[in-house]
Amino acid sequence: MNFVQDLSFVHMIQNASVLVQLVMGLLLLVSLMSWWYIFLKMFAVRLAVRQSEEFEELFWSQSDLNRLYQNSNVSSGETGSMARIFAAGFAEFAKLKKRPGMDNSAVMGGVRRAMRATYQREMDNLESHLSFLATVGSVSPYVGLLGTVWGIMNAFRGLANVGQATLAHVAPGIAEALVATAMGLFAAIPAVVAYNRYAYDITRLSSRFESFMEEFSNVLQRQP
Q: Where are the domains of the chain?
A: 2-59+127-221
Mean pLDDT of 47-56: 92
Interval 52-99: pLDDT, tens: 998 988 888 887 888 888 876 554 456 789 999 999 999 899 888 888
Q: Is the pLDDT of residue 160 over 80?
A: no
Interhelix angle 130-158/167-221, rounded to 10 degrees, is 170
User: What is d(CA 68, CA 216) in angstroms, rounded to the nearest whole number?
Assistant: 13
CA distance 34 to 32: 5
Distance CA 89, CA 220 (A): 9
Mean pLDDT of the chain: 84
pLDDT in tens, 108-156: 899 999 999 999 999 999 999 999 999 999 999 999 888 888 888 877 7
Q: Is the pLDDT reported for residue 171 higher than 70?
A: no
Q: Is 30 helix (H, G, I), strand (E, B) or coil?
A: helix
